Structure 1
Amino acid sequence: MENIPESSSRGTKRRRDEDSDAGNTSSLEDDLTFTDTLVALRIMRAQFPHVHKWCGDACFQSSVEPFILKSQLYSIVKDRTQVDRELESLRRDKVLRVFKLNTGQDDHAIMFLDDYLNQIDHVVKRMEEKKIGECEAFGWFKTHVLDSKLEPGINHQELCSLLSLGGKVKDSHISLLINAGILTRQLIDPNMYWFAIPNIGSLLKGLVQGRKEIISLLSRHRYKEMMLASLEKKRLRMSPLDIRFLLRDLIGSGHLKTDQTPTGLIIRVSKD
């Protein structure tokens, strides 16, 4: 089992094992339990659904680097205290970042720092192609803000102070970061921002819709349960995310429960 990496400098490439058994062909039941948070994160990163398919009447293509939901970690690393402790250590060591999601629940996404920096680079490239000015703000953000502020949020004064280490900050710089999806304003306090993952909006919509569809599907069955082997074969109509991604989320958040039987794993809706 790998040890958690020691602290490293910004931008340093960290090795990520793309385990040969981490493909999308195995059943969820085969890798439902791990004892190491970093190993679980790496495997789920490799299994992240790179979506490009029809969903309803529209073709959906994901342009988001792989991320993992905290609820998914809770579904496969049974010690939640351990998960929280190891996530905090990995966050402090700048291996990953944790993001608060605006899905109406206490949802958090986890993304390896290298992937997040790549995600920002994609945004910068798109902005430059559109000839949008003041893109220097992205460089200031990566160099001074991300390296210093490891928490999920930041206040306006601190943001401006850190950005000013790169150059003279204007309101338009902040607006550019917000419009690019890198920052979102907190609803309770407009002087506070959440760090955000650009281009994640469509996937979050698919997450919410997929949750509802799976719960609805199970609720139509007797005892509100199905064998996992049968459930995994279902095709979702309302979400581009694959069913394993959503099942891990629903199990970890407590909306679904699992029971081992002689014939395999049963998934059932949790009682209210």
Structure 2
Amino acid sequence: APYDRAILRSLRMLKRRRRSGNGEGSARKAEDDEKEDDEEENRLILSELPDDAMVAFELLRQQYPKCPVAGAYPVVLVSQIYSIVKSRTEVDRQLDNAVKKRDIRTFKLIGYANDELIMKTPDYLRLLQEVLTFRKKASRSRCTESREEKQIDTAFRIADQLCSQGSTKRKKIEAKNDEELNRPKRGVEEVFSRFVACVISRCHHPTIMQSDLQDFLKLAPPELVDVPDAFRSSLRSSETWSDEDVKVAQRILTDCGVLVQRDNLSFIFALPGMGPFFNEIMQGRREILNVISKRRFSEMLVREIEKIRLRFSTLGMRFHLRDVIGHGNIEICETTTGPLLKFHHF
């Protein structure tokens, strides 16, 4: 709740009135108490102000490019925040605090281990909800085909039983197949609800070990977990999953692009449908570096490069400039003619 200065002033006035009749030295004590109250008020006001990294994050979200490749939910590169806030240690510390508060989530740029992305947690959950809706529509169209195929298989099996005498071994195989068909399988909606309630609420890192993923999916979701209404309907809080259920869930999550297998022991949390956006990030970064490196002394004024139109990216020059400056490939210097970009040859 926001701090109310009026209440604080009234409390200080009451303290002064009570201490006014204490004899000698009361005026000095009142001055000391007033200084302490002012310091306390300043500390409370500063504690309510947002961190520099989060202010830069909100600024970059507002300036997020509006194009089909970028998607509907803003994504910010950590390197872009580095270009605004100079202290990288402070940025990392403030972002870690925001991740622990579940305000944001960090993701790895697939194929580039040093690049990280940031998205607000509510935006990420809405993105998962859109993926779930799309997957449910696709599964409905497949259900009609699968029912027809099952009916055809059943008809052939009955005809085969009538025409030939089945052996005991064959009957056992058919009984086993019937058990596998009748065994309840986890649906896409139930898997996504379990993933949001059990995995996302417990793991805040961009990567997760396979053993941790399996353990989180097996366990029942926490009692106080805040799950959106879209995932709450199919969530069974008291139910534990078997190893087979976990394997089915892993397959569904990887097929939907929610998880990407990093190696045999770990997975990466991914952003489904953002592949073209990531490609344009790398293409725009390479194009800017090529333009500056081919100039004399590998230097170029900011006002000159802002006039250039990128050929391989639609995200805009400002988006990529902040990325390459914060990434450390380019240094920006103040000159009498304006900011100057210098390319570093590694």
TM-score in same-fold range (> 0.5) = yes
Q: Structure 1 CA distance, aligned partners of 2:343 and 2:48? A: 36
Residue-by-residue CA offset, 1:208-245 (whole Å, 9 max, x unaligned): 11111111111222222221112112111112221111
Q: Structure 1 CA distance, aligned partners of 2:246 and 2:188? A: 10
Q: Identify which of 215, 219, 223 aligns with 2:293.
A: 219
- Secondary structure of 1:107's counterpart equals strand
Q: Structure 1 CA distance, aligned partners of 2:311 and 2:56? A: 28
Q: Structure 2 CA distance, aligned partners of 1:115 and 1:237? A: 30
Q: Structure 1 CA distance, aligned partners of 2:110 and 2:338? A: 35
**Which residue of structure 2 aligns with residue 73 of structure 1?**
81
Q: Structure 2 CA distance, aligned partners of 1:102 and 1:72? A: 18
Q: Is the 8 A contact 1:145 1:162 kept in 2?
A: yes
Q: Does 1:258 align with 2:337?
A: no
Question: 1:157 is matched by which residue type in structure 2?
Answer: S
Report the Cα offset of residue 62 of structure 1: 3.5
Q: Identify which of 267, 272, 283 aligns with 1:209.
A: 283
Moved over 3 A (4+): 1-5
Q: How does 1:148-163 map to 2 (within 5 A)?
A: 148-163=202-217
**Fraction of identical pairs, as percent:** 33
Question: 2:136 is matched by which residue type in structure 1?
Answer: E
Q: Choose 1 or 2 for highest CA Rg.
A: 2
Q: Structure 2 CA distance, aligned partners of 1:4 and 1:200? A: 33
- Residues 88 and 261 from structure 1, CA distance in 2 versus in 1: closer, same or farther, beyond 3 angstroms? same
Q: Structure 2 CA distance, aligned partners of 1:94 and 1:170? A: 25
**Which residue of structure 2 aligns with residue 181 of structure 1?**
257
Q: How does 1:69-108 map to 2 (within 5 A)?
A: 69-108=77-116
The size of the alignment, in residue pairs, is 233
Q: Structure 1 CA distance, aligned partners of 2:248 and 2:48? A: 43
Question: 2:253 is matched by which residue type in structure 1?
Answer: L
Q: Structure 2 CA distance, aligned partners of 1:115 and 1:232? A: 30
Q: How does 1:107-118 map to 2 (within 5 A)?
A: 107-118=115-126
More strand as a share of residues: 1
Alpha-carbon RMSD across the aligned residues, in angstroms, is 2.0
Residue-by-residue CA offset, 1:102-124 (whole Å, 9 max, x unaligned): 23341111111111111111111
More helix as a share of residues: 2
Q: So what's the TM-score if we normalise by structure 2?
A: 0.63
Q: So what's the TM-score if we normalise by structure 1?
A: 0.80
Q: Is the 8 A contact 1:100 1:152 kept in 2?
A: yes
- Residues 158 and 249 from structure 1, CA distance in 2 versus in 1: closer, same or farther, beyond 3 angstroms? same
